[in-house]
Every structure is written in C-alpha cells, then in structure tokens.
Structure 1
Amino acid sequence: MRIPSLRQIEALIAFVESGTVSRAADALRISQPAASKLLGTLEMDTELQLFERDGRRLVLTPQGMRLYQEIDRVFTGVQQIARAVDAIRREERGRLRIGVIPALSGPVIRSAVSSFLDRYPDVFISVMERSSQLISDWLVRGQLDVGIVSASANEVRIRSQDIGVEPLVCVVPRDHPLGHRTSIPLSELQGARFIASSSSSILRLEIDKLLEGQGVIPNVILDADTAKNACEFVAAGLGVSILHPLTISKSLRNEVSILRLDPSTSLGFHFCHPLECRNKALVDAFAEEVQGAVAANLGVFSVA
C-alpha cells in the first residue's frame, strides 16, 4: 500500500461533496480524465475498493465512505488548528473583552466600538451583554478587560470611572397632556399611570427615593425589566416613566416627549477595569471612545 497524496485526497473529497467526477474536476479545476485518474490511483494505492459503477455513474462503496469520513475528521482537526493559530495571532495583535449592561448595549457601545476599531483595526473585540453583578465578577476573575455597569464594583482590584452622570428625566407619550411641556414639577406625577424600572435595579432605587422624598405616589401599572422596554411601553401610550437620558431609545424619540424634572436626581454609569491590565493602552484608548460616545449621545438628546 502506498500513502495517498494530498491531490488524491482532494479528488476524493471533491467527488463525494459534488456527486460526480465531472463536477469534482470542475471544483479542482482539472480535466475529467485527470480527476478519474486521481480517483483510480487512490483506489490502487490504498488497495481498497472505494468505488463501483452504477450504470455509467461512479458511486462510493462503504469502504470509500468510511475513508472519506476519516479524511473529513482529520481535515476538521486541521481546520481547528488553523483557527487556533488565528486566535493566537489575534492575541498578539491585541484583544479587548468588554462587558456591558443592556441599558447601554445600543448606540453608545456601538459608537465606541466603531471608533475604537477605526484607530485599532487589528484588535479583536468581544462584547458581552450581562448584568452589573456578573460583569463585576468577571472583571475580578480576569475574564473581562472592561466593564460598563450601573453599580460600581465594590472591589479594591477594580478601578471605576463615572460616565454619563445626568439628571433623570420624565418620558411621556407625544400625545400625552404633558407632552407639549419641556419640564414639570415632580408633584405632577402624583397618581399618574407609571411604568417603573425593574425592582432590583439601581435606577428603581433612586427613583423610589426621589418620589418618596417629595411625597409623590404614582400609579405603578407595570415593571419594565429594561429601559428599552419602558420606552416601548411609553411610546405605546401605556403611561409615563422616569429614565436616564442615555437609555432612551433613539428610534422612539419621535414617539415620546422628554421632560426635565424638578426636582430630579443625577445618576450615571461606571467604566470599570482591573487595576492590573494586561493591555492597559487598549483599555485607556477604549475609555476615551466610550467618553466620546456618551458625550455624542447626550449631545443629540434634547428635551421636548
């Protein structure tokens, strides 16, 4: 038995995957007689019955199929090695693993990543949308390089920087009686149909504190687990809500009115990273892009 050549193996793969010798020849960019010769010599060299004729058509035997399956398994392993090599090369070029909370996983992170890649086109980026708690845990364990969270990590190994600190605003449907206003006293939300944030969120805690401090009790009709959902419900005319301006969906800003609150409370987010960064230059550069994206998104924000 002779060891099959790579060209013979390629001919077998092309034959099995295309179904005929002529199409295998086309795939290999050789003549049909040349493809037939490669398959014939493969059968002779392996001393196996790989093919049989069904009329004028060449078909694979069980032995031929078994050989093809083994070849496919080996080639799959080679492809995995190629992917591993590519991953190692990417690591050398640089990699940034980012965790972001759902509230900022839209325009802000999209703009920041896009601008960052304009500066560092060879850096490989992974973006994962998770809760603040999970992102903080992964930062501590070294599974993330950057985290954008709503609650600052209470951990000495994590450095945190405030971003997007802004007063909370009231969001109402365009056709709401308050929709023509630019600002309202918080007291006007007394008894209003209200769409609240998730009961476990930092935003909900701050809003409840603000309302209780002014003795205002709105009519809470539902809890929305994300700011995007809250905006959708407001746009649908189900009620009003209080949100951070960065979390108001751009796509819905023509369907809602955004009003200043008096009084309000300021709330922001946190850009976090481990004190011991393996790629500090990339983390610092990404921090700049996040700050720019936050400023740009707040710049297009306008109160009705």
Structure 2
Amino acid sequence: MDIKQLTYFKAVCQYGGFSAAARRLHIAQPAISIAMRKLEAELNLTLLHRSDRQITPTVEGEVLLGHAIRIIEMSEAAELEMRELRGLAKGEMRIGIPSMLGSYYFPPILMGFKHRYPALSLSVYEQGTRRLQDMIRTGELDLGVVVADPPPEDLETRLLTREEMVVCVPREHPLAARSSICMEEFFSHELVVFKTGYFLREFIDRYSQKRSLPPKIAFETNLIPLTKAIVRQGFGITTFLRMVVEQDTQNDLVAVPFDEPVFLDLSLAWKKGGYLSRANQAFIDFVLSQTKDMKHHLPQ
C-alpha cells in the first residue's frame, strides 16, 4: 500500500465511483480502476462493492477507509509543516462561509486579510453551515463559519458575532409597521425559505416540528437576490439576518423582529486536534481581532 493507492481508494468511496473520483482527482479513470484492483490483490480482500449505479466499500473496505483517512491527513499535515519549516511564504487557505455572511459580513474581513498577507491564496466556498461542518471534518476545508448550536464536539470553535434573525417584508406590507411578530403569525403567511442544510431553514423546520405547525412554503431557494425579489413582488415573506435587510441598497424591505427575539451565534470552526498551518492561524487571529470589538456589544 502507498499514499497514492489510499488517496484513490478514499476518493472512490467518497464520490461513489471510479469516474467521479477520477474527475475530482483530475486523472484518467482507468488509472484508478487499475490501482484499486492492485490494492485488492495486495491485501487479498474485496474492498469495494461494484454495481452499475454506485460503488460502495465492503465491510473490509470500511475498515481500510478509516485508516486511509487518518494516514492521508497525517501525510498532508506533515508535508505542510515541512514546507513551513522551509520558510515558504505562499500557501492556499480553504475557507467555508454561509451565503449571507459571504455577501454582507465577510468581504471587508477577507479583503483586509489579503491586504495584510498578499502572498496567501484564499479559496472561499459557499455552503450551508451543516455542510461546512462536514467539509471541515473530511479535510475539504481548513476553516469555516458555522452556527455552533449545539457545539460540535469534534470541532474547535471561536465566537465571531451574534446576529438577530428577523422577518423580512416589503415596506408596503401590513406587517411592516409592526414592532414585532409572533412565530404563529409568521407561519400563517406564504414563506420563501432556504433549502435544507442552511441554518435559517433549520430554525423554521425545528419550530415547525416543535409546535406541529407546518410552514406554507411558496419558494425554496438559496439565492439571496432571488429571495428578495420574490418578497418585493409580494409572493411571500422570509427570514434573514438583520444585516441582510438593513444593508439592502434598494431600501424597500423592512426588518421586523420576532416577539421573542431569535439570535444566532456565528463561530469560526476548524477540526479539533488537526494541524493548523501558520496561514490558517494567522487568519484566525486576524478575524478574531476584527470582530473583538463587536463581541463586547452582543445581546444577551
């Protein structure tokens, strides 16, 4: 066994097939098929269930997959640390950010970090916070911004900010003049919601299940501009973080709080016990320094 074989094996298991793994690894598909046959021959074990639709690991393959993930992570960490010991100034950072924060909160932070460390390359990925947590666990991301509720035991987290969830309605909507809205009244309207995996959708789903109150979902979309357009045209109302409504340039949407205010704690997260490169540590220190003053004024 070598690292290349284990890397191919992990990719086949992760993406469910030789072709998908080959595309992700940017290599020819036959090279992966040959490598997997050689690996099985070396170990004298069948590691993969092969079917027309999807390839999955056997029981023996599941055992090897656990070892492969740990070995690959340790190899990558060792290689990274050796590069840093040689004093390389350049490096790539993979950061995951939810769409609302990526549009309204993080741009000045990212630009400020790039200005301070121009040699570092930033790759920013947009996903829902649950997906971002999974990507950190599997090593696809170095860092991510998540809603740590409940706090994930296998991730290190540092609080960045607390943001209020509000109801977003057009300025001419009857609810726009209200000082607050109860949750039951919110659920009585046609709603525009994020898809499953995003924290605002999780909030709606949890409340719906808790109160046995099915939401009237008119549209599902992760596109913030489209959501705003739908709300503006009167085809539904939605929930946003307050910053998204207050920073809207058209100024024709209104943020109305819930009568029992709802706040989300947004945290920077990385894998617990994993190796943090100097670049990643510099990013953590920079982001926390930029948000330090905000945390003194967080609502309790």
Q: TM-score range by the shorter chain?
A: 0.5 to 0.7
Of 85, 104, 107, the residue aligned with 2:101 is: 104
| Cα offset, 1:282, TM superposition | 0.9
Contact 2:93 2:121 in 1 (8 A): yes
Residues 1:99 and 1:220: Cα distance change in structure 2 (over 3 Å): closer
CA distance in 1, matches of 2:121, 2:254: 39
Tell me whether 1:164 sits opposite 2:161 in the alignment: yes
Q: Secondary structure at the match of 2:163?
A: strand
State the AA in 2 paired with 1:282. Answer: A
Residues 1:262 and 1:90: Cα distance change in structure 2 (over 3 Å): farther
Structure 1 unaligned runs (5+)? 1-87, 300-304
The sequence identity of aligned pairs, in percent, is: 22
CA distance in 2, matches of 1:185, 1:240: 14
Aligned pair count reads 210
Of 226, 240, 261, the residue aligned with 2:258 is: 261
Residues 1:100 and 1:166: Cα distance change in structure 2 (over 3 Å): closer
Partner of 2:112 in structure 1?
115
Of 175, 179, 191, the residue aligned with 1:178 is: 175
Structure 2 unaligned runs (5+)? 1-83
Contact 1:116 1:289 in 2 (8 A): no
Residues 1:232 and 1:268: Cα distance change in structure 2 (over 3 Å): farther
| Cα offset, 1:233, TM superposition | 1.6
TM-score by length of 2: 0.56
CA distance in 2, matches of 1:224, 1:287: 29
| Cα offset, 1:259, TM superposition | 0.4
Contact 1:227 1:248 in 2 (8 A): no
Partner of 1:206 in structure 2?
203
Partner of 2:285 in structure 1?
285
Contact 2:94 2:141 in 1 (8 A): yes
| Cα offset, 1:116, TM superposition | 1.6
Q: Secondary structure at the match of 1:168?
A: strand
Q: Secondary structure at the match of 2:173?
A: coil
Contact 1:101 1:150 in 2 (8 A): no
Residues 1:295 and 1:231: Cα distance change in structure 2 (over 3 Å): farther
Contact 1:151 1:202 in 2 (8 A): no
CA distance in 1, matches of 2:221, 2:101: 16
CA distance in 2, matches of 1:101, 1:184: 26
Q: Secondary structure at the match of 1:251?
A: coil
| Cα offset, 1:115, TM superposition | 1.7
| Cα offset, 1:261, TM superposition | 0.8
Contact 1:191 1:217 in 2 (8 A): no
More deviation in 251-260 or 215-224?
215-224
CA distance in 2, matches of 1:112, 1:255: 27
Q: Following superposition of structure 1 onto structure 2, how do residues 229-244 of structure 1 map, counting pairs within 5 Å?
A: 229-244=226-241
State the AA in 1 paired with 2:133. Answer: S
Residues 1:228 and 1:163: Cα distance change in structure 2 (over 3 Å): farther
CA distance in 2, matches of 1:185, 1:265: 11
Q: Secondary structure at the match of 1:175?
A: coil
Of 120, 124, 138, the residue aligned with 2:121 is: 124
State the AA in 2 paired with 1:232. Answer: A
Q: Secondary structure at the match of 2:204?
A: helix
Residues 1:230 and 1:289: Cα distance change in structure 2 (over 3 Å): farther
State the AA in 2 paired with 1:245. Answer: R
Q: Following superposition of structure 1 onto structure 2, how do residues 1-304 of structure 1 map, counting pairs within 5 Å?
A: 91-150=88-147, 154=152, 156=154, 158-189=155-186, 191-210=188-207, 219-248=216-245, 250-251=247-248, 254-274=251-271, 275=273, 276-279=275-278, 281-288=281-288, 291=291, 295=294
Residues 1:96 and 1:216: Cα distance change in structure 2 (over 3 Å): same
CA distance in 2, matches of 1:126, 1:189: 37
Residues 1:134 and 1:203: Cα distance change in structure 2 (over 3 Å): closer
Q: Secondary structure at the match of 1:263?
A: strand
Q: Secondary structure at the match of 1:234?
A: helix
CA distance in 2, matches of 1:245, 1:190: 19
Partner of 1:9 in structure 2?
none
Residues 1:287 and 1:251: Cα distance change in structure 2 (over 3 Å): same
Q: Secondary structure at the match of 2:89?
A: helix
Contact 1:170 1:260 in 2 (8 A): yes
